[in-house]
Structure 1
Amino acid sequence: MSWLVLGFESSCDETGVALVQTQEGGAPPRLLGQALHSQVAMHADYGGVVPELASRDHIRRVLPLTHEVLAQSGRALTEVDVVAFTRGPGLAGALLVGAGVACALAAALDRPVLGVHHLEGHLLSPFLSADPPEFPFVALLVSGGHTQLMRVDGVGYYELLGETIDDAAGEAFDKSAKLLGLGYPGGPALARLADFGDATAYALPRPLLHSGDLNFSFAGLKTAVLTQARKLEGLPCEQPRADLAASTQAAIVEVLVKKSLKALAATGLRRLVVAGGVGANQQLRADLNRACARQGVRVHYPELALCTDNGAMIALAAAMRLQAGAGQASRDYAFDVRPRWPLDELNREAAPTR
């Protein structure tokens, strides 16, 4: 059976809408159209996301984006088989916008609706790339609020291998950027400045690098960056700031790369998937590609346009769940949202045979 799935993403500061079509023979679903509006410019004046403003902007954007996606794909709204939305995790008010629109639309069309886990969307997003992965694999989920290593045996079969015990990698990028006086969003700004710096200029810590487990910690690194940044205040030369940015990026990337390799060794798997906003970082991609090539490991990424939050990954996750029989779309339109929602709660009863 084939499904045409319309997906809505509104978990934080991007409004995303997309349409995907499942394919016969087990091939990954095909992206027919997507549209995305980022709220970065709106939140920049505040130095971070303002939840109330984010929710109001989602309301303004979601229907025009839906019309744009339908026009791109050449499909009519009445052709949609399932409506999907991000149920969580995320900002409660922002999630409610997408959930409300999706359920109201599904009710009007008399179509089933399916709530999707935001991180599962990121996890599966490389299946829309030109080089889709195959199960099983190790996944490195790196975003503004999450840093996790997962073993993935199939849709709905997720084993947590390690996660951050404090700040996520994306938070380390953003908070370090703020300490260096860079704009919002901080991660990309820090990466751009790092291109002009010496990554060996500052001996910054690599927390938990030799801990023996697969957990992460970036709070101590942020404190070390604060100490060095204070020493640079008032200096007329910009080079030390570029050096500190490069050294910060190098510390974060080294931890992510080495922990990923440890996870691959621990599981015996030879395939790595990297997903989430930090997965767009070019230094991380370059270092992972080199390290994985030496180990004979295949590494997969989403397309750059699909690294940040987007509707395509939500529609995709819903479609793959339907294909795998791992999710039941419902005509119960009394929706709820899950601002906090552990990914491993999605696990199916029995994992595939390893």
Structure 2
Amino acid sequence: MAVILGIESSCDETSAAICIDGTVVSNIITSQSIHAAYGGVVPELASRVHQQNIIPAVQQAILTAKVTKNDIDAVSFTRGPGLLGALLVGVSFAKAFALARNLPLIEVNHMQAHIIANFIEEPKPKFPFLCLTVSGGHTQIVLVKDYFHFEIIGQTLDDAAGEAMDKTSRILGLPYPGGPLIDKYARLGNSNAYHFPEPQIPGFDFSFSGLKTAFLYFVRDRMAADPGFLKNNLPDICASIEKRIATILMNKLKKAAQQYQIKEIALAGGVSANTGLRNLLQQTADENGWKAYIPAFQYCTDNAAMIAATGYYKFLKQDFVGQQTAPLARMQF
């Protein structure tokens, strides 16, 4: 039996999880409300709150899993990408825990773990598959050939889809975090009420900076003509911009699936929790004969379950920190 402790602290969620033989049995996520007053994550504050939360989160994960510290066989942690100070808290704790108990240490790429989240529960994708990975900092189409062989075939040239949603919400005057609020209001609106441009980027790459600018000018001009425009039309505005972001993502994914002749399609990353995107992926899958895979909501946002699950697959390979491993370039993250 392999018991893996996972640690995640890349941004503003402190999370710990236990994975036993590939099955996640606990996943504790502690969010940080302190950032709401600043309209975004403040890195220094995030790292300080991680210091407060990391030990209680690990203790709760162990208790929930009904194991003891003595049962743990390895510790996996997020190495990056993420906020430097926040990552240091998780890395330092993982190293100390592993050293104190003479356990192997497993480093995990955060974006790889988002993709591996599709293997936490059934149904699980079959190799090879395409994964649309969308978060606040990344937007990628990844060709996944096995658990450790990833090839990025398309990515954003500027802003990520999650950042576009966050900036959109700020333009609308919504409080932080804005992405979930865009999703909430969009469920009440008409997604065809307003039309926004789709960037004409060749290949499988994305661009969202122009869309953000177009949206800013749209709001500015409508507000100049009608000061009550946002208040009276917020659900329709949210539904329309959410639909445009989702269709930009889906159009590129359809193009990639056609060229690579792949019908196993997965979604991953924080933005994969967006209801509109999840629904559009399933609709597109039905229209194109795809098998679509979407993680449960708790495995979409930053969480330690995906770190522990990835750590389990690396544990089977004996891929530990300090040992000779496959070059990171092979993963192309």
Q: Secondary structure at the match of 2:150?
A: strand
Q: Bigger shift: 52-61 or 280-289?
A: 280-289
Whole-Å Cα distance in 2 between the matches of residues 331 and 167 of structure 1? 35
1:328 equivalent to 2:319? Answer yes
Structure 1: stretches of 5+ with no match in the other structure:
23-28, 333-342, 349-354
Whole-Å Cα distance in 1 between the matches of residues 74 and 328 of structure 2? 24
Q: 1:1-354 counterparts in 2 under 5 A?
A: 2-22=1-21, 29-39=22-32, 41-208=33-200, 211-233=201-223, 234-235=227-228, 238-323=231-316, 325=317, 328-330=319-321, 345-347=329-331
Question: Which one-letter code corresponds to 2:52 in the other structure?
Answer: R
Distance 1:75 1:346, change over 3 A: farther
Q: Secondary structure at the match of 1:45?
A: helix
Cα deviation, residue 187, structure 1: 0.9
Q: Secondary structure at the match of 2:14?
A: strand
Cα deviation, residue 346, structure 1: 4.6
Q: Bigger shift: 124-133 or 220-229?
A: 124-133
Query: Which residue in the other structure is 1:26 paired with?
Result: none
Deviation readout 1:282-337 (Å, 9 max, x if unpaired): 111111111111111101011111110001000111111223x2x621468xxxxx
Whole-Å Cα distance in 2 between the matches of residues 344 and 214 of structure 1? 23
Q: Secondary structure at the match of 2:76?
A: strand
Whole-Å Cα distance in 2 between the matches of residues 68 and 237 of structure 1? 43
Whole-Å Cα distance in 1 between the matches of residues 276 and 94 of structure 2? 37
Whole-Å Cα distance in 2 between the matches of residues 118 and 236 of structure 1? 40
TM-score, normalised to structure 1, is 0.88
Whole-Å Cα distance in 1 between the matches of residues 148 and 292 of structure 2? 21
Whole-Å Cα distance in 1 between the matches of residues 11 and 266 of structure 2? 23
Structure 2: stretches of 5+ with no match in the other structure:
none
Cα deviation, residue 276, structure 1: 0.5
Deviation readout 1:200-238 (Å, 9 max, x if unpaired): 222211113xx4410001111100110111134321662
Any conservation in 1 of the 2:172–2:230 contact (CA below 8 Å)?
Answer: no
Count of residue correspondences: 326
Q: Secondary structure at the match of 1:291?
A: helix
Whole-Å Cα distance in 2 between the matches of residues 32 and 151 of structure 1? 29
TM-score, normalised to structure 2, is 0.94
